[in-house]
């Protein structure tokens, strides 16, 4: 994985025979009480090493576009205008990176929450990706396609089990945060990139303390188990991670650090 360049809202990486672009949709501030210990209670105390912005956790919101030069797949879509005004920059990020919305025929959604899926619909109510053919999402989360998202419901492809989306992208179910939470394994000529949604919310804490959960994990025990499995996979040679809530641009390498893990970003931060 090689960092090539960055702008205000995007960063470009070369990954063997593939191109990976991090697209920054913005950020979301959440109270530290969202963090949960192994009993399900708010984590107390929150370590001093966890940075706060005016008393809140600041979560980057990232999406990722992967291309082989012929086909481009967008993983997650940001929030559009459905949530906080600090989000909704995905379309500007795509433009900055030189990615045409018309080029996107496949969108892969990590899970059903608004900061990952609502960008399928632009602020004016139109479909954000005019040539969209398929929306891949875990079967347990497909019920989200009502109301605002109804226009794309006819193109939803439910993921029931591990399945190849194309020759270099595989959907891997990782239920826990939501019933349909899914990780997308990008395989290039040089290795694997695991693109995840809400496996980790607070990177400054949850690699060092992976048993810390999140209030909105639908099944905290299952979410912990999924995170443990993925972290063990990521320490293998040739593996990298791209995270929706890792600090933008959100692409990193994971290594062991005693009984825990350490994260090393592959590019300078963008904010």
Give the whole-number percent of the chain exceeding pLDDT 90.
99
183-240 tens-digit pLDDT: 999 999 999 999 999 999 999 999 999 999 999 999 999 999 999 999 999 999 999 9
Taking CA atoms, 226 is separated from 59, 147, 168, in Å, by 20, 31, 22
Domains of the chain plus CATH, in order, are 2-265 (3.60.15.10)
Of 191, 172, 248, 135, which is closest to residue 18 (Cα–Cα)? 191
57-114 tens-digit pLDDT: 999 999 999 999 999 999 999 999 999 999 999 999 999 999 999 999 999 999 999 9
Whole-model pTM? 0.96
Cα 80 → chain centroid: 15
- For the chain, give the longest Cα–Cα distance: 50
DSSP 203: H
Burial of 82 (0-12, 13-18, 19+ CB in 10 A): middle
Task: Give 58's contacts (C-beta < 8 A, 6+ positions apart).
Answer: 27, 28, 29, 51, 52
Taking CA atoms, 270 is separated from 11, 22, 24, 71, in Å, by 8, 10, 8, 26
Section 131-141 average pLDDT: 98
Question: Does the pLDDT of residue 4 top 80, yes or no?
Answer: yes
Query: What strand order describes the sheet that includes 2-6?
Result: 2-6, 10-15, 18-30, 57-67, 72-75, 104-108, 134-138, 156-159
Section 32-44 average pLDDT: 96
Q: How far apart are CA 242 and CA 254, in angstroms?
A: 11
Residue 230's φ and ψ, nearest 5 degrees, are: -70, -40
Taking CA atoms, 77 is separated from 19, 107, 127, 257, 262, in Å, by 18, 8, 12, 33, 27
Section 122-147 average pLDDT: 98
Question: Does the pLDDT of residue 153 top 80, yes or no?
Answer: yes
166-183 tens-digit pLDDT: 999 999 999 999 999 999
User: What is the model's pLDDT at position 224?
Assistant: 97
pLDDT, the chain, mean: 97
User: What is the model's pLDDT at position 142?
Assistant: 97
Question: Does the pLDDT of residue 271 top 80, yes or no?
Answer: no
């Amino acid at each position: 994985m090689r960092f090539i360049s960055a702008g205000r809202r995007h960063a470009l990486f070369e990954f063997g025979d593939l191109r990976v672009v991090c697209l920054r949709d913005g950020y979301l501030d959440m109270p530290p009480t969202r963090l949960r210990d192994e009993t399900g209670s708010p984590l107390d105390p929150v370590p001093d090493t966890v940075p706060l912005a005016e008393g809140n956790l600041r979560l980057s919101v990232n999406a990722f576009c992967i291309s082989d030069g012929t086909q481009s797949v967008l993983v997650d879509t940001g929030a559009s205008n459905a949530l906080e005004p600090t989000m909704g920059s995905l379309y500007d990020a795509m433009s900055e990176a030189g990615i045409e919305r018309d080029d996107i025929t496949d969108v892969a959604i990590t899970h059903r929450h608004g900061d990952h899926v609502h960008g399928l619909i632009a602020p004016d109510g139109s479909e954000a990706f005019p040539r969209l053919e398929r929306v891949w999402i875990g079967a347990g989360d497909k019920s989200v396609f009502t109301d605002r998202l109804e226009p794309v419901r006819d193109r939803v492809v439910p993921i029931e089990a591990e399945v190849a989306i194309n020759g270099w992208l595989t959907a891997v179910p990782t239920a826990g945060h939501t019933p349909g939470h899914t990780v997308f394994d990008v395989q290039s000529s040089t290795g694997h990139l695991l693109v995840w949604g809400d496996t980790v919310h607070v990177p400054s804490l949850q690699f060092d303390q992976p048993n810390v959960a999140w209030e909105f994990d639908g099944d905290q025990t299952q979410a912990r188990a999924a995170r443990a499995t993925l972290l063990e996979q990521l320490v293998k040679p040739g593996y990298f991670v791209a995270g929706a809530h890792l600090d933008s641009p959100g692409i990193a390498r994971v290594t062991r650090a005693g009984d825990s893990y350490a994260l090393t970003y592959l590019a300078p931060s963008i904010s």
